[in-house]
Chains A and B, each alone.
Chain A
Amino acid sequence: MKAFANLLERLAFTAARNAKLRILRHYLEQTPDPDRGFALAALTGDLKLRAVTPKLLRGLMAERVDEQLFALSYDFVGDLAETIALIWDGDQDDDVPLRDAVALLSDTGRAGLPAAISAMLDRLGPSERLAFLKLATGNMRVGLSARMARMALAEMGDPQVKDLEEIWHGLTPPYQPLFDWIAGGARPEHAAKAPFRPVMLSTPVDLDQLRALDPADHVAEWKWDGIRVQAVNDDGVRRLYSRTGEDISGSFPDVIEALNFDGAVDGELLVRRGANVAPFGDLQKRLGRKVVGKAMLESHPAGLRVYDLMIWQGRDLRDMPHQDRRAILQQADFGSDRIDVSPLLDFATWDDLAALRADPPSIVIEGVMIKRRDSAYVGGRPRGPWFKWKRDPMVIDAVMLYAQRGHGKRSGFYSDFTFGLWDGDVLVPVGKAYFGFTDEELRELDRVVRNNTTERFGPVRSVAPKLVLEVAFEGLNASARHKSGVAMRFPRISRIRWDKPAPEADRLETLKAMIP
């Protein structure tokens, strides 16, 4: 439990992804089974334990600490579990194995729970008390995705991230067969049906690079602006996965219901109303919901546009050339009007394709995909067989308003910028950008911030509105959560407009007019 508590603390305060990965890897290397498996599951939210309520915890405290002193403390600390961990008056400091804590939280009956928790807290030091209480309340909040967990595991042995993705959903904590495999043992067998299979990804390309290739060797199709997914029906077990292998079935019961086929297909998840594909913002409303209401299912119906077949009617097609898979795809019957096939584009030269790309038939198209006719379906991002040729980003000229200091390699530099647009004669913040510039430009931007600071709030400075930044972004949604009413996707600084005076920056209504 000491190592686990230390891991949680380090992850909670470490922002950089690589540093997080290293901390996690060291923990996994140095911790015995089954504790490391339980820790991994706790971090990725896959550990199902009895949920301990704040009410129960408050009840424990009421017996031990003066109510007024507790209230003052809680008010200062701001987090119930942390307040209790700090205030608990125990002088033992046992290194209780994590598996014992997990066993306590999964096996103890309701009536015995308060006494068991109290006895456990008595055995632990303060950091371990906090870790235990976070485990008990199911509230880790250390910013670690299952994908990052797999990246750390991939650094520990031969299996790569895509190999791990493939078996991930057949595994259950504490993952003993997984750790055995990483240590050089046998690959775990699929325990579950409808597993995730590694997705084939593309590399970016431009017209100059395309000219070196023969258009006759390639097919092209639209790149839809939805979410790339893998939909599986394996002997009646239906799953919808994101391209990194997260199971998102729960948010899309309408799509799951429509998977009336036998196989595993690669496609784009889209919100569709009849023949019309809705903008990404509509799809976003469906994401991350544990429960989707009936009204939402009706107003934002989701569907699937299929790009490729991986498994079809019992056959694994992945080693076939793309054109053969495509032939089967075009004959396939998906048994639902929520599912259709992404059409191929008709072109003879790259200039033909450039013309199509420049004028797509729908606003929910973000470019074209180009695939070699002879390409097998290979998980990961092989260079060459598949390309994405995205449409040019949208740009707007905005004014820098605030800057925040960065972490890690950007320590000491103001590197996160909030920018705004004119609304009448005031500047309204519309977004934040923290990449797109070179190291040299970062130094220049840092200088601008320091020389034009008007106010400071901790690591943030407000900056005199002088500098115009050209901001490029991939898309735009209307958003009630943003004061400006719009939310940009992937904004980055594409150019510093040293030449442009701030009054000539763009206006908010110009941005709003770009909402699809």
Chain B
Amino acid sequence: MRADQILHPTEAGLYCPPGDFHIDPIRPVPRALITHGHGDHARAGHGAVMATRQTLEIMAIRYGADFTETRQVAEGPIRVGDTTVSFHPAGHILGSAQIAVQPDKGPKIVVSGDYCRRPNLVCAPYEPVPCDIFVTEATFGLPVFRHPDPLQEMARLRASMAEFPERQHLIGAYALGKAQRVISLARQAGIDGPIAIHGALQRLCDYHVEQGIDLGELIPATAADVPAQLVIAPPSAFASAWVQRFRDPVIGFASGWMQVRARARQRGVELPLVISDHVDWPQVTQTIRELAPSEVWITHGNEDGLMRWCQLHQIAARPLRLVGYEDEPE
């Protein structure tokens, strides 16, 4: 069977005819395999969902227990139609996985979803999965994206907190994954005091703690007076009146995009922190070299840059131009 008969883009997302399932579909389908819990990959309303236990639990927290009719925890190789699928850690957020699809006849395809190769204490590390066709994101698919060591960024946060001890530091971070990663990094960097979190982060932080991830002392940032110098909130909170309880805060934002000054300025932040859950340019190109697949498919992001790199290195590549996936979703 040809590769594009095993997996191809449709309006609902990537579809696998021999297994009769979609991967990360953007609209309701009878059977969905889901890489991770971010809103643009994991949506409610499918007939059946297969994902890691943690992704299923995160979806239940975000959408309610009835987010799908039936669910199945992905563990070990599983037969789906005329294929065998397996889930492997992607190093992106808690529960995130790559999905390997092995048809009974034809090439093995690995859909990596969003992935990251930098050490991250809030999730299992990325695991290289040998394959014939590697499906990759290209969120940061330009050679300007070389994300620094996140602990170096934390040192900048600490320096600012020391330079402005009377000002609270409000750091914007997406609610699932990034927020917990920033808190975990802050702990690694030696920020020991209580960290305040916006109400929208509470349940997801609680869940991380239940899963054995140490986030230290967290207090709610809901009272009129928040007794913590470091406060973490989702980006949407910064446009709301919630911010007004802080007098003269330093506003920061944790994202891989903060590496580009124009992007940081657009956000109006005073302290841009370059912290990403996605592969940067050296990581994505190294991964492709390491896996040496016969073909690379690029789902979304800056695919032109990665396409050009593949061309220069004589690696067969094609863009899938999937729509509906955001750069770094909330």
Contact residues, B286-330 vs A (CB, 8 A): 302, 304-305, 308-309, 312
B112 CB to nearest chain A CB (Å):
22
Tell which of B144, B246, B305 touches A86, judged by Cβ atoms closer than 8 Å.
B144
Q: Is the Cβ of A68 less than 8 Å from the Cβ of B308?
A: yes
Most interface-central of B144, B269, B304, B308 (chain A CB within 10 A): B144
B272, CB-defined interface residue at 8 Å: yes
B248, CB-defined interface residue at 8 Å: yes
CA distance A459 to B235 in the complex (A): 12
Q: Is the Cβ of B144 less than 8 Å from the Cβ of A87?
A: yes
CA distance A69 to B268 in the complex (A): 28
Q: Which of B90-98, B113-121, B208-216, B259-267 touches A?
A: B259-267
Q: Is the Cβ of B305 less than 8 Å from the Cβ of A73?
A: yes
Contact A446/B241 with A14-B270, A411-B251 known, Cβ cut-off 8 Å: yes
Contact residues, A64-112 vs B (CB, 8 A): 65-66, 68-69, 72-73, 76-79, 82-83, 86-87, 89
A402 CB to nearest chain B CB (Å):
15
A280, CB-defined interface residue at 8 Å: no
A290, CB-defined interface residue at 8 Å: no
Q: Is the Cβ of B261 less than 8 Å from the Cβ of A12?
A: yes
Contact with A along B239-262 (1 / 0, CB 8 A): 111111011110100000001111
Q: What DSSP secondary structure best describes chain A's contact surface? A: helix
Contact with B along A393-427 (1 / 0, CB 8 A): 00000000000010111011100000000000000
Contact with B along A431-459 (1 / 0, CB 8 A): 00000000000000010001000001011
Q: Which of A19-27, A43-51, A159-167, A467-475 touches B?
A: A19-27
CA distance A14 to B308 in the complex (A): 37
Q: Is the Cβ of A407 less than 8 Å from the Cβ of B262?
A: no
A192, CB-defined interface residue at 8 Å: no
Q: Is the Cβ of B266 less than 8 Å from the Cβ of A458?
A: yes
Q: Is the Cβ of B260 less than 8 Å from the Cβ of A76?
A: yes
A491, CB-defined interface residue at 8 Å: no
CA distance A134 to B304 in the complex (A): 28
A197 CB to nearest chain B CB (Å):
35
CA distance A438 to B243 in the complex (A): 19
List residues of chain A with CB within 8 A of the CB of B264. 13
How many A-B pairs have beta carbons closer than 8 Å: the answer is 93
Most interface-central of B240, B242, B261, B305 (chain A CB within 10 A): B261
Q: Which residue of A lies closest to B312 (CB)?
A: A66
Contact A412/B244 with A13-B264, A77-B260, A83-B144 known, Cβ cut-off 8 Å: yes
Tell which of A73, A82, A89, A412 touches B142, judged by Cβ atoms closer than 8 Å.
A73
Tell which of A13, A72, A87 touches B269, judged by Cβ atoms closer than 8 Å.
A13
Q: Is the Cβ of A450 less than 8 Å from the Cβ of B262?
A: no
Q: Is the Cβ of A458 less than 8 Å from the Cβ of B268?
A: yes
Q: Is the Cβ of A405 less than 8 Å from the Cβ of B239?
A: yes
Contact residues, B218-251 vs A (CB, 8 A): 238-244, 246-249, 251
A15, CB-defined interface residue at 8 Å: yes
B271, CB-defined interface residue at 8 Å: yes
Assign chain A's interface to a size class.
35 or more
Tell which of B246, B265, B305 touches A69, judged by Cβ atoms closer than 8 Å.
B305
A226, CB-defined interface residue at 8 Å: no
Q: Which residue of B lies closest to A72 (CB)?
A: B305
Q: Is the Cβ of A411 less than 8 Å from the Cβ of B243?
A: yes
CA distance A446 to B240 in the complex (A): 11
Q: Which residue of B lies closest to A10 (CB)?
A: B160
CA distance A408 to B251 in the complex (A): 8
Q: Is the Cβ of B144 less than 8 Å from the Cβ of A76?
A: yes
Q: Is the Cβ of A413 less than 8 Å from the Cβ of B244?
A: yes
B146, CB-defined interface residue at 8 Å: yes
B238 CB to nearest chain A CB (Å):
8
Q: Which residue of B lies closest to A459 (CB)?
A: B268
Contact A405/B268 with A73-B305, A450-B241 known, Cβ cut-off 8 Å: yes
Instruction: Show 26 residue pairs from A and B whose CB-CB distance is below 8 angstroms, ordered by the A residue.
Output: A10-B160, A12-B261, A13-B264, A13-B265, A13-B271, A19-B164, A22-B163, A65-B143, A69-B142, A69-B309, A72-B302, A72-B305, A77-B144, A77-B260, A78-B262, A82-B260, A83-B144, A86-B143, A86-B144, A86-B146, A405-B268, A407-B251, A450-B241, A458-B266, A459-B239, A459-B268
Lowest 10 CB-CB distances: which A-B pairs, in order?
A412-B243, A86-B144, A412-B244, A409-B248, A73-B144, A73-B142, A408-B248, A87-B143, A459-B268, A78-B262
Seen from chain B, the residues whose Cβ lies within 8 Å of a Cβ on chain A are 142-146, 148, 156, 159-160, 163-164, 170, 238-244, 246-249, 251, 259-262, 264-272, 302, 304-305, 308-309, 312
12 more contacts with CB within 8 A, not counting A86-B260, A126-B148, A458-B266, are: A13-B269, A16-B248, A19-B164, A23-B163, A68-B308, A69-B143, A73-B142, A77-B144, A77-B260, A411-B246, A411-B249, A413-B244
